[in-house]
């Protein structure tokens, strides 16, 4: 059980002690800190904020606490109810409000929840803004509204439909082209809001949908992180149904993974590669992903005559780099697609539509598409942190050990070898060190990861 306070919000497990877990007291404190910061940041007399949540079990409780806290500060709230992270992100500018909060712990298991905080553009706060909110929460320096100045709650449950309409109106999405292809797709919505949004989008695009775990009860049928080891059911179902492919999303629908027609993983790293391939084939431009993402995006971008750049891990860092480099598509190798033509946020609905367009125009099977891309294999491992472990000193030791290689310290330590790479960094969302490697075969990637883990343990005295 733990509480993680970071510039992107607050994330923790439900129950337990205040300041150690995401208790009702902590939810109120951080909602009050966000609302108080917003009042100092904005020049308006009356503020309005959009709030939505995924379907996890604690969602309604946390939402009631957060909404009531903002109302107590004199802030009006547009309550979207069950929603997705990208839906809240597009609602903020469409409603011309001052900020947004998404109540979701993304891919974390059911005992977790979080407050993800947005600015008036519907984008995640920058480091400076996040730090100010953490400082306000620490001081508990809040001034609540008098009774005549309380905020009001406006309920609006139409935004998933509005979001779908926004996707259908994108210039590179043509519903008729997709309908003519006659796709059959299995959807694993992990019993959260993706089970509402993705099937609705597919039906609008004329796709035959087979639903798997699409009832938004919050009872996740498997670990909600869309990794191969958690997705045995949909891999079998795609083959049984003779479907064209499968779609898997995480509970808040900002990560997107595909299952090929043969029941194999398309590879979450290749979600962005495929979507970028389609967009770059229509529009010349640049791309961005994070340091932990596959080299395959660089290869595809250069094939289309564009330039690729790597950003520090974290959506806010990728977005900043995309804006600086005028990237026309970008994202993260965890299946997060950021397409600025829609909005600057990871969006599985946008990614789904772009992928369907690619398949409809290119023809062939999803397995054949995957085989057409440069072949890289990743290993994603982690080491659990203990309170006495000095992570910074450990990363510095690894940097020194490999100082003769090409090393980046933008975010943790990334060591680029000629044929492979390894990226070591402390997680923003869990008490772990992440060890990502990539190589030309799965065996090579796994061997490299295990070797580096052994070296880390030796340096840390964990052997």
pLDDT of residue 427: 83
pLDDT of residue 151: 98
In eight-state DSSP terms, residue 308 is E
Exposed e or buried b per residue across 286-298, where buried means at least 16 C-beta atoms within 10 angstroms of its C-beta: bbbbbbbbbbbbb
Of the listed ranges 7-21, 75-89, 354-368, the one predicted with least confidence: 7-21
- Asked whether residue 217 carries a pLDDT value surpassing 90, the answer given is yes
Q: Is 106 a catalytic residue?
A: yes
> Is 194 in contact with 345 (CB distance < 8 Å)?
no
Q: Which two tokens stand for residue 260?
A: 């090929």
Question: CA-CA distance, 154 to 357, in Å (whole number)?
Answer: 36
Which residue has better confidence, 432 or 297? 297
Residues 144-149 have a mean pLDDT of 98
- Asked whether residue 349 carries a pLDDT value surpassing 90, the answer given is yes
- In tens, the pLDDT along 61-95 reads 999 999 999 999 999 999 999 999 999 999 999 99
pLDDT of residue 463: 59
Confidence band for 431, pLDDT divided at 50, 70 and 90: confident
| Burial classification of residue 415, based on how many CB atoms lie within 10 Å of its CB (0-12 exposed, 13-18 middle, 19 or more buried) | buried
Residue 233: enclosing H or E segment and its boundaries?
helix 232-240
Exposed e or buried b per residue across 217-253, where buried means at least 16 C-beta atoms within 10 angstroms of its C-beta: ebebebebbbbeebbeebbebbbeeebbbbbbbbbbb
- In tens, the pLDDT along 224-273 reads 998 889 999 999 999 999 999 999 999 999 999 999 999 999 999 999 99
- Asked whether residue 153 carries a pLDDT value surpassing 90, the answer given is yes
| Burial classification of residue 165, based on how many CB atoms lie within 10 Å of its CB (0-12 exposed, 13-18 middle, 19 or more buried) | exposed
Kindly name the residue from 106, 192, 260, 292 that is annotated as catalytic.
106
- Asked whether residue 42 carries a pLDDT value surpassing 90, the answer given is no
Read off the pTM. 0.92
- Asked whether residue 308 carries a pLDDT value surpassing 80, the answer given is yes
Interhelix angle 348-362/85-95, nearest 10 degrees: 110
């Amino acid at each position: 059980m733990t509480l993680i306070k970071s510039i992107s919000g607050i994330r923790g497990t439900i129950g337990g002690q205040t300041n150690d877990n995401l208790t009702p007291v902590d939810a109120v404190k951080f909602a009050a800190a966000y609302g108080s910061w917003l009042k100092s940041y904005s020049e308006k007399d009356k503020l309005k904020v959009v709030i939505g949540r995924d379907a996890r079990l604690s969602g309604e409780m946390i939402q009631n606490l957060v909404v009531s806290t903002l109302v107590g500060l004199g802030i009006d709230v547009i309550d979207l109810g069950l929603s997705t992270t990208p839906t809240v992100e597009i609602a903020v500018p469409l409603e011309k409000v001052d900020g947004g909060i998404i109540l979701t712990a993304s891919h974390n298991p059911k005992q977790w929840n979080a407050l993800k905080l947005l600015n008036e553009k519907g984008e995640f706060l920058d480091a400076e803004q996040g730090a100010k909110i953490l400082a306000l929460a620490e001081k508990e320096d809040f001034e609540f509204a008098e009774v005549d100045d309380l905020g009001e709650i406006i309920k609006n449950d139409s935004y998933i439909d509005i979001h779908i309409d926004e996707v259908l109106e994108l210039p590179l999405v043509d519903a008729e082209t997709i309908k003519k292809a006659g796709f059959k797709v299995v959807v694993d919505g992990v019993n959260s809001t993706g089970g509402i949004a993705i099937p609705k989008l597919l039906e609008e695009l004329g796709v035959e949908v087979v639903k798997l775990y699409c009832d938004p009860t919050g009872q996740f049928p498997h670990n909600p992180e869309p990794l191969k080891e958690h997705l045995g059911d949909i891999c079998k179902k795609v083959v049984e149904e003779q479907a064209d492919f499968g779609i898997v999303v995480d509970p808040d629908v900002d990560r997107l993974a595909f299952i090929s027609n043969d029941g194999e993983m398309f590879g979450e790293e290749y979600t962005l590669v495929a979507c970028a391939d389609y967009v770059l084939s229509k529009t010349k431009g640049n791309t961005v992903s994070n340091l932990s993402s596959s080299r395959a995006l660089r290869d595809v971008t250069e094939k289309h005559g564009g330039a690729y750049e790597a950003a520090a891990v974290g959506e806010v860092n990728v977005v900043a780099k995309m804006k600086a480099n005028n990237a026309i598509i970008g994202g993260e190798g965890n299946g997060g697609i950021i397409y600025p033509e829609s909005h600057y946020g990871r969006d599985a609905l946008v990614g789904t539509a772009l992928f369907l367009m690619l398949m409809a125009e290119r023809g062939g099977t999803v397995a054949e598409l995957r085989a057409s891309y440069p072949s890289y294999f990743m290993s994603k491992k982690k080491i659990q942190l203990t309170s006495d472990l000095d992570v910074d000193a450990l990363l510095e030791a690894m940097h020194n050990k490999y100082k003769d290689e090409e090393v980046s310290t933008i975010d943790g330590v990334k060591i680029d070898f000629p044929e492979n790479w390894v990226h070591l960094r402390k997680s923003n969302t869990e008490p772990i060190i992440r060890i990502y490697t990539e190589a030309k075969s799965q065996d090579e990637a796994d061997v490299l990861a295990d070797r580096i883990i052994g070296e880390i343990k030796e340096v840390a005295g964990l052997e």
